[in-house]
Every structure is written in C-alpha cells, then in structure tokens.
Amino acid sequence: MKSLDECQLYTFVDSAYLAGRDPIEIARQLCDGGADLIQLRAKDWPMEQIEAVTAELAPLTRDAGVWLVVNDYLAIADKYQAPLCHLGQEDFFDRGHTHVSELLRPGSPVRIGMSTHDPDQAKRSVSAGAAYVAIGPVYATATKPGREPVRLDYVRWAKANVDHLPWFAIGGIHLGNLDDVLAAGAQRICVVSAILNAANVAKACEAFKNRLA
C-alpha cells in the first residue's frame, strides 16, 4: 500500500450517488481504475448496513492496496481494521475533542482524517494529529448542500502552509476544472460525483489518474 504522501486520487462509495448499484461492485471498479483511497460515505444508511458493507470492503481494498476510509464511524473502522476514519469538524472539535489520541484505543491501527473549510480549521486539525486534511469545498457541490465554496484561495493557502501533512482538495472537482485546481497547488484530490455519475466508473478513475500523473 502506498503511503498517504504518495496517494493522489481519493474516491468514494457514496450512497447518495449509487443509484441502485452494488456498493461492492462500485468499489471494485474504483480499485480497477486506480483509486488510491476509497471512502464509504452513507449518511442515509443505518449503522448496521454501514458495518455490513465495511466488512466486505475491508478485504477487497486491502487486497488491492487501496486505503479504506470509513466516514463518521470510528468503531466500525477499528473493528474491521480499516486504516482510516474521516470526521468533520462538528464530529470532533464540536464534541470537545482536542487530539485524535483521545478517540483511539491503545494499539488501534486506525488514523483519522478531517474535513476543513478554512485556514483556522486546517491549523487546528493538523495540531490535533490528523493523518490528512481535506481542503474545501473548492467549488459548490451537491455533496455539501448549503456550504459556501472556498474557491482556489484556500487551495493556494494550503500549498503554502500545509507542507508536512497530506492534504486533498475536495468539492465540485471535475476534469474541466482540474487544471485550475492543480495550478493552485493541489497534488491530491477527492472526487465524488464526477466519477460516480460516469457511465464507466473505472474509466473515469483512469482519466483523473492520468491527468494527475
């Protein structure tokens, strides 16, 4: 498995974009297309369903050398030895936590990544021991309805200031604006709808991976 520093393409099995498709098959296509990370994000699923799908995704991604990220549910990530759990600011700081070590059991293999929407949140997340930070949403996106886009200024800030921790630009990124995001300093990106809405998920992954290369 690559180090997080070497990872470039962060993808999703997002229940909002499955349109009746099998999440395991979508994950397989993401792996085939060259995804470096796959996050299971299912805001509308019961916890039992998230756990059942994680149980299937964990060996699939492990065999493919892809980082599995479980959104929100640290206990599930820990149970199935997913290497990463992703938390929002409200899931961490708003609940009174100040460092990731407060949440992890001794010996846990799980690391925690965090969403950030401005420089102060990024600085705080880095200080809290995040494994990576997501920078965005760069552009308006249905994945984060009502969230004001941060535009490219925040990407430029991250390039200048978050130099010792992997960070991923996220939010409304597609092949038509990818060059602008890269020119602003991003080396790693998260892509949701531009891949999951594609007719061929694996080929969509490949297209992004080729551009990043």
Helix (H) / strand (E) element for 110: namely none
The answer to whether 9 and 189 have CB atoms below 8 angstroms apart is: yes
* CA pair distance 18, 14, nearest whole angstrom: 7
pLDDT of residue 26: 98
Q: Which of 63, 98, 68 is nearest to 85 (CA)?
A: 68
| Structural domain for 166, as ranges | 4-212
Q: What is the pTM of this model?
A: 0.96
Block means of pLDDT (10 residues each) for the chain, 213 residues, are 96 97 98 98 97 98 98 98 97 96 94 97 98 96 74 96 95 97 98 97 98 94
* CA pair distance 76, 197, nearest whole angstrom: 27
For residue 122, the domain's CATH number is 3.20.20.70
Classify the C-alpha dihedral 6-9-15-21 as positive or negative: negative
pLDDT of residue 144: 67
Split into its structural domains, the chain has a count of 1
pLDDT of residue 27: 98
* CA pair distance 94, 104, nearest whole angstrom: 17
pLDDT of residue 187: 97
Helix (H) / strand (E) element for 119: namely helix 119-127
pLDDT of residue 146: 65
pLDDT of residue 117: 96
List Cβ neighbours of 210 (8 Å cut-off, separation of 6 or more): none
pLDDT of residue 9: 98
